[in-house]
Amino acid sequence: MNETSNSSSQGQYTVRKQAAKAKTQAREAVALLEQAHELLTKDDAMQPATEPLHAAIRQAEVRAATLEDWYWRTYYLTSGKQDT
- pLDDT tens digits, 4-53: 556 777 777 888 899 999 999 999 999 999 999 888 888 876 778 888 99
**Region 54-68 average pLDDT:** 95
Q: Residue 33: what pLDDT? A: 93
Q: Residue 5: what pLDDT? A: 58
* Contacts of 72 by beta carbon, 8 Å cutoff, 6+ apart: none
Structural contact between residues 34 and 27, judged by C-beta atoms closer than 8 angstroms: no
> Which of the 8 DSSP states describes residue 80?
S
User: Is the pTM for the entire model greater than 0.85?
Assistant: no
Q: Who wins on pLDDT, 21 or 82?
A: 21
> Which of the 8 DSSP states describes residue 75?
I
- The separation between CA 22 and the C-alpha centre of its own chain, rounded to angstroms, equals 5
Structural contact between residues 3 and 47, judged by C-beta atoms closer than 8 angstroms: no
